[in-house]
Structure 1
Amino acid sequence: MSSKQQNRKPKDTGQARERAKSGGISSSGAAEPVMQMPRRTEAFARLARRVDEEALVLRPRDLTGQARRLHLRSTIIEDHAVRIDQKASGADEKFRLLAGSLFAFFRGTSLLFHRDMAGDDARMPTVLCLGDVHPGNFGVMPNADNVPIFGVNDFDDVIYGPFVWDLKRGTVGFMIAAEEQGGLGRGRQRKIAKSFLKGYREGMEFFAEHNTELGVEMREDNCPKIIRPLFGKSSRSRRDWLAGRYLDENGRGFRASAELTPVSSRVEEFQQLVTALAKQKGIEAGGRHGPLRVKDVAMRHGQGTASLGLPRFYVLLEGPSEDASDDVIIEFKKARRSALEGLVPAHDFDAGEQGDRIAHGQSVHLAQGDVFYGNVEIEGESFMSRERAPFRNDADLDELSKKQWKRYARACGRALAQAHARSDDLGQLDYDIEPAILQAMEPAALFIDDILCFAEEAVARLRRDHEMFRRDLSLGAFEVTEKRYR
């Protein structure tokens, strides 16, 4: 027997396996051989700073072949690490959804998309970016008076950054959706994306001239014709909506379904949260909100794309009539960090952390938005809150004609322009943003062509990424998180 074999310590297979699962430091204080891979947020933040400071820096988008595949895999695992480790059913469901559709893959991999842009456009004016612009993130929702309005409707990724980041992601989104949902060719996709960009410029010119971004709402009576059908659900009664989808036969609480699992034992806990939220938002008992009394609580399953698998609760509040016909439903969804965090160029503005950041985004982007948008803490985690409504509605993209696609894209561009224009009134910007953006978009033809060329390259890269993702998924790449070994 060699001296090396004589000095080798006996293996403790069971304990070693347990330590490999947990990682970290053992009870004896010794370093473990396996540890969880850390998030690379700060590493990419350093990359973004280098892009701004140096003449030429390679980004992940420059990778090809197997190197790109490994980057893609690591990024998606990192973005879903908690859901994978917890064996959340929503994680498997989300990965299957992403595999089945290029548009779903685009929607569900915002971190991958934005890491390719790390540090870009540092010279461009900063706004409160929506962060995840695409045709599905515009729609009808309630304002402060529970009146349906059209506008941007997903604030999970809001962050201060260059205004062009929203235009770039939106342009890519319209191109992919027009192909997959509309069955349209490349030439038509480019025209639709161009309409989105022109709509944005038109909106910015309008608000620069009239300064009405604070008070203007896109309602059924003043919205573009293409948007009016989305208001169809606004006439649906709350009674029918509640009884048809949510309430049990007595109207006293939620009914169990594939979407909802009642957790009535948590009513008192959520009553305290609702009371704290009402105080935070200045919501008084009475009026259409009723006594702000919690009737029931349920866990919500299988909703969203990017947030699929994250914890989500529905809370049922007693309505003013107390007969279950006008009850109010408040949603609490776990807040995640913005996919753009650490990637946008350096600036002087801070939207806040997690739920506070999301609430800030809604308050800035929407004229008289939902009063229940806020932030609470549940079991030590940040959750955002908002009201559910019978008339929340998005466009049926697969039903749009060729002409309707262009009109819808133009309307969305104008809605995004209003959201950005409000960054200096209700956001943290200390200068008039509209003239700066219009100046940065000159010459207009060149600016639009640059965005379209970026989008075409990004779509081609997404196709390759999607194929690599599907291959990795079939080989079990996303069943466990990556570990670092000594």
Structure 2
Amino acid sequence: MKVKPGNEGKKLRQKLKRNEQGTFKLPPNRPTIAAFIKADNVGRLQNLVPIRHARMSKSPFTFYRATASVMAYDLAFQPHTKVNVQAIGDAHLANFGGFATPERSLIFDANDFDETNPAPWEWDLKRLATSFVLAAREKGIGESTTLEIARNVSKYYRESMQEFAAMNILDLWYIKFDLEGIRDMAKVKRSKKQLDKLISKGQKQSIQKELYKMAISSSGNFVIKDQPPLVYHPFDIDKSRKMIEGFFKKYAETLQSDRKWLFNQYKMVDLAMKVVGVGSVGTPCFVALLMNKKDEPLFLQIKEAGESALEPFTGKSIYKHHGQRVVAGQRLVQAASDVFLGWSTGPGGRQFYVRQLKDKKISPDIETFDKAVLKGYAKLCGRMLARAHAKTGPSSLLAGYMGKREQLDMAIGKFAVAYANQTERDFAEFMKAIKSGKLKASFELPD
């Protein structure tokens, strides 16, 4: 059942016409890209910053993945409805994927919440649509089809919001996008094969297999394998054990009681630095190996949480601890969250959040997507984003504003193409900064 646009939504159209959502104008006195990047690098581990730049230099799309702060700045100067939801904050297409729920079924959902904060709903939608334009261009897909894909992101977001606005709120919160169900509904044969591979990959994952992949036996104990520059031990674990145990004690207090009991069945045996992602490179990120009395492993990822890229434009988070901000946003948005999701504070007051490193997590292989699969993926991401926003925002108001026609979809497509063009110009400026030596790029750790 779909709801009809209400008076409230129609009044919102009077304040901001839907076609105005297609407007993109470069903000006045916008900083240079080198200035943006250098500001982002403040507080990062400086020996890893050249690796971050090197990863960003692969293509405009990978550059885009690492520059949520640039787009947040630009979006703040564009017309928007000022209607807030719990925004993902970095809702590009590579930040969606599959993982296992506590009940062990595989679902599809957003999976990166470093930038989450209340913000205007269209900011997530525009970032998602733009990411599809850049990904389609990287694959050599024609501009007319690329525009259609961007519009589809909005179309399925809009139509799904109509559906979700009419639902009982409890039913909405119980919705999960089961991967096997998605596979059965896929209309394109190649999409079904892609999903079969992802489901099979997820089902084959086990923590025991990860143990033998990531760790080696040393003097009767397992330790994480050094794989520089991506995985390495930055300090003596034995000398730092008291500090690490104190960190985990504070972390355990953020878990609900049954999960705290479960966590306390394990003991930390090793901890290493692990370089992850593109935009996250340089932020302190660790992987911890814990074992229980039965020698069963548990891997936890410990990732620094700083200020959201949205906060300078939306206001400070209500949470003083940014690890708590990430965890709270993730729990609000996701249909189901990791049982070990929590937060803690490290040396020097650095704030971190904690989650399982490997728990049947699967990421779509974007490089293997063809035109048909990318179209289907755009629909799925648009629908998932609508569910996320409907959970935490005024869904009936948004459904009424967007309506049943395609005005919003046309505008979002127009914006996505314009902002992808700007991203390509920003990427060219970034590459010039590397070539001139203003920014250093290297895939190796400095001596």
Report TM bin, short chain.
0.7 to 0.9
1:126 to partner: Cα distance: 1.0
SS where residue 308 of structure 1 aligns? Answer: coil
Q: Are the equivalent residues in 1 in contact too, given 2:133–2:149 (CA < 8 A)?
A: yes
Which runs of structure 2 are paired with 1:206-245 in the superposition (5 Å)?
206-211=163-168, 212-224=171-183, 225=186, 226=191, 227-236=195-204, 237-245=206-214
Unaligned stretches of 5+ residues in structure 1: 1-51, 53-58, 425-432, 481-486
Residue 417 (structure 2) pairs with residue 456 (structure 1): yes
SS of the residue corresponding to residue 343 of structure 1 reads helix
1:399 aligns with 2:368: yes
Cα deviation, 1:250-279, whole Å, max 9, x if unaligned, reads 453322222332442233332332233222
Q: Between the two proteins, what is the percent identity of the paired residues?
A: 25
Alpha-carbon shift at residue 201 of structure 1 (Å):
1.9
Partner of 1:108: 66
Residue type at the aligned position of 2:71: F
Residues 156 and 335 of structure 1 are in contact (CA less than 8 Å); yes or no, is this contact kept in structure 2?
yes
| Alignment pair present for 1:282 and 2:256 | yes
SS in 2 for 1:235: helix
Q: Give TM-score, length-normalised by structure 2.
A: 0.82
Within 5 Å, give how 1:131-280 maps onto structure 2: 131-180=89-138, 182-211=139-168, 212-224=171-183, 225=186, 226=191, 227-236=195-204, 237-248=206-217, 250-258=220-228, 259-262=230-233, 263-265=236-238, 266-280=240-254
Distance 1:276 1:62 in 2: 43
Partner AA of 1:241 in structure 2:
E
Q: Is the 8 A contact 2:148 2:413 kept in 1?
A: no
Residues 91 and 125 in structure 2, CA contact (< 8 A), matched pair in contact too: yes
Give TM-score scaled by structure 1 length.
0.76
Amino acid at match of 2:331: S
CA contact (8 A) 2:259 2:340 kept: no
- What amino acid sits opposite 2:203 in the alignment? S
Question: Aligned in 2, Cα 1:269/1:82: closer, same or farther, shift over 3 Å?
Answer: closer
Give 1:408's aligned residue. 377
Distance 2:149 2:216 in 1: 42
Residue in 1 aligned with 2:407? 446
The aligned counterpart of 1:437 is 398
Counterpart of 1:192, as a letter, is I
State how far apart, in whole Å, the 2-side matches of 1:165 and 1:285 are: 34
SS of aligned partner of 2:172: coil
Structure 1 residues 352 and 144 mapped into 2: Cα distance closer, same or farther (>3 Å)? farther
8 Å CA contact 2:86–2:389 kept in 1: the answer is yes
Decide whether the 8 Å contact of 2:214 with 2:224 is kept in 1.
Answer: no
C-alpha separation in 2, matches of 1:257 and 1:306: 20
2:428 corresponds in structure 1 to: 467
Query: Secondary structure at the residue paired with 1:171?
Result: helix
Distance 1:443 1:234, change over 3 A: closer
**1:231 deviation in Å?**
2.3
Which structure exhibits the higher relative contact order, with contacts defined as CA atoms closer than 8 Å and separated by 6 or more residues? 2
Q: Distance in 2 between matches of 1:415 and 1:281?
A: 27
Aligned-residue RMSD, C-alpha: 2.7
Assess if the C-alpha contact under 8 Å between 2:224 and 2:270 holds in 1.
yes
CA distance in 1, matches of 2:179, 2:227: 33
